[in-house]
């Protein structure tokens, strides 16, 4: 690990000031905020992230750690740990896809450390990105190429990619946030703003080294998940190489509002498949007003994977994703909700 200066930020304003040199999402950012540290310290040890200054924001926990449920929706403070949200009974009841996406991620130790704000900014697990001995990586060194395109790309992305990068967004919680139309609160020295979570991660557009729209010094302060009528009938299906403590090959976050068998509204997020947290809006539209059954679920899944581009070792992924998504949709339909006659 390269040397760095360590700072404790005692307040948000101090964090903004100390972090004003951040180019978050960029590998050459000279300042990095430290929360749970599970991605940052790991990637600093691997010499992928090389900050000259690390700003500890642990002291902001007092204001950024709350979980609140109201009639309008669910608020999750950015410094809430993954474990706290995963084990929260009311979240599991009212927003099951949120709790499940967190419980099925990482390990008990990592969930105790990692915060929700850091979780959505988690870096890709692309082995070529994580190992600087591979010189070609446009995410690490813009313009150097992509070693994964002709490399061992079994778990690389097939959606939202281009010829500069096929790395996969590895997170689960972010996929659930996409499905539930969540918003993200950002705080900075100039102002605070609330934006759709779908806008936090930038589309690739040939610039894999700039991952999100955070301004220098800006911090995620929390997430707001609106209480849609689909939120309770939601679930997260994650398919992976081993049963626990593993990243997704494919994951589907689905939420549906049904009138009998007929879909009033559907919300679909895909994990493990795309360059950034992915929402399958065309598939959602297709299901609206139709009965939810094997045929319609399969048809929606086909639409969700349109445009998928594979690179050899990951040729299996679109079909696995179609089947996973169809299973998730039918699983959501089969849920018996408390207080509701099935």
Partner 1 sequence: MTQMTRREALTAGIAMATVGLEPLRADAAPAPKSDPSAVRVRLEVNGELRELSLDPRVTVLDALRDHLHLTGSKKGCDQGQCGACTVLIEGQRVLSCLTLAVAAQGKPIETIEGLSRADGALHPMQQAFIDQDAFQCGYCTPGQIMSAVACVTEGHAHSDGDIREYMSGNLCRCAAYPKIVAAIKQAKLEMERA
Residue ranges in contact with partner 1 by CB under 8 A: 1, 3-6, 34, 37-38, 41-42, 45-46, 54, 56, 58, 83, 106-110, 112-113, 243-245
Q: To the nearest whole angstrom, how small is the minimum distance from the Cβ of residue 49 to partner 1?
A: 13
Residue with smaller CB distance to partner 1, 170 or 318: 170
Residue with smaller CB distance to partner 1, 107 or 262: 107
CB atoms within 10 A of CB 205: 9
Residue with smaller CB distance to partner 1, 46 or 334: 46
Do 86 and 103 form a contact (C-beta atoms < 8 A)?
A: yes
Q: To the nearest whole angstrom, how small is the minimum distance from the Cβ of residue 284 to partner 1?
A: 31
Q: To the nearest whole angstrom, how small is the minimum distance from the Cβ of residue 58 to partner 1?
A: 7
The two tokens of residue 165 are 């990068």
CA distance 320 to 154: 13
Q: To the nearest whole angstrom, how small is the minimum distance from the Cβ of residue 10 to partner 1?
A: 13
CA distance 259 to 192: 39
Q: To the nearest whole angstrom, how small is the minimum distance from the Cβ of residue 104 to partner 1?
A: 9
CA distance 268 to 300: 10
The two tokens of residue 163 are 């010829």
Distances from the Cα of 172 to the Cα of 86, 116, 146, 227, 273, angstroms: 12, 11, 25, 20, 11
Q: To the nearest whole angstrom, how small is the minimum distance from the Cβ of residue 4 to partner 1?
A: 6
Strands annotated E in the chain = 5-8, 31-34, 53-56, 67-69, 73-77, 183-187, 192-196, 219-226, 234-239, 250-259, 262-271, 278-279
Q: To the nearest whole angstrom, how small is the minimum distance from the Cβ of residue 262 to partner 1?
A: 36
Residue with smaller CB distance to partner 1, 41 or 136: 41
Residue with smaller CB distance to partner 1, 55 or 329: 55
Q: To the nearest whole angstrom, how small is the minimum distance from the Cβ of residue 34 to partner 1?
A: 6
Residue with smaller CB distance to partner 1, 58 or 93: 58
Which residue(s) pair with 69 in the sheet? 74
Do 169 and 200 form a contact (C-beta atoms < 8 A)?
A: no
Residue with smaller CB distance to partner 1, 54 or 308: 54
Distances from the Cα of 121 to the Cα of 56, 58, 90, 248, 310, angstroms: 16, 17, 25, 16, 25
**Residues of 232-249 as b/e, b for ≥16 C-beta within 10 angstroms?**
bbbbbbbbbeeeeeebbb
The two tokens of residue 216 are 């220098």
Residue with smaller CB distance to partner 1, 245 or 316: 245
Phi and psi dihedrals of 221, rounded to 5? -100, -25
What is the signed CA dihedral for 61, 63, 66, 71, rounded to 10 degrees?
-160
Q: To the nearest whole angstrom, how small is the minimum distance from the Cβ of residue 112 to partner 1?
A: 4
Residue with smaller CB distance to partner 1, 125 or 327: 125
């Amino acid at each position: 690990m390269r040397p760095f200066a360590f700072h404790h930020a005692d307040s948000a304003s101090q964090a903004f000031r100390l972090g004003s040199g951040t180019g978050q999402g960029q590998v050459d950012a000279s300042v990095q905020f430290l929360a749970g540290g599970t991605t940052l310290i790991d990637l600093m040890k691997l010499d992928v992230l090389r900050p000259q200054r690390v700003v500890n924001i642990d002291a902001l926990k007092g204001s950024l750690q709350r979980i609140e449920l109201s009639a309008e929706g669910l608020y999750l403070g950015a410094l809430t740990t993954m474990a706290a949200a995963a084990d929260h009974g009311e979240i599991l009841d009212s927003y099951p896809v949120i709790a499940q996406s967190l419980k099925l991620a990482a390990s008990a130790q990592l969930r105790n450390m990692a915060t929700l704000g850091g979780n959505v900014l988690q870096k890709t697990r692309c082995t070529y990105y994580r190992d600087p001995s591979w010189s070609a990586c446009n995410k690490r060194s813009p313009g150097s190429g992509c070693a994964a395109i002709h490399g061992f790309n079994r778990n690389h992305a097939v959606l939202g990619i281009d010829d500069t990068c096929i790395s996969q967004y590895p997170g689960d919680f972010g996929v659930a946030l996409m499905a539930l139309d969540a918003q993200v609160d950002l705080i900075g020295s100039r102002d605070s703003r609330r934006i759709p979570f779908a806008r936090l991660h930038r589309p690739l557009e040939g610039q894999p080294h700039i991952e999100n729209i955070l301004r220098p010094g800006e911090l995620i302060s929390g997430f707001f998940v609106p209480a849609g009528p689909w939120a309770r009938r939601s679930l997260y299906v994650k398919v992976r190489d081993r049963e626990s403590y593993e990243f997704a090959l494919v994951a589907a976050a689905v939420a549906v509002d049904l009138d009998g068998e007929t879909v009033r509204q559907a919300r679909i997020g895909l994990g493990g498949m795309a360059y950034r947290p992915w929402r399958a809006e065309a598939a959602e539209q297709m299901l609206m007003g139709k009965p939810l059954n094997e045929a319609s679920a399969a048809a929606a899944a086909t639409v969700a994977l349109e445009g998928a581009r594979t690179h050899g070792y990951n040729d299996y992924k679109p079909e696995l994703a179609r089947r996973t998504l169809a299973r998730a949709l039918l699983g959501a339909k089969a849920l018996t909700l408390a207080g509701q006659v099935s």
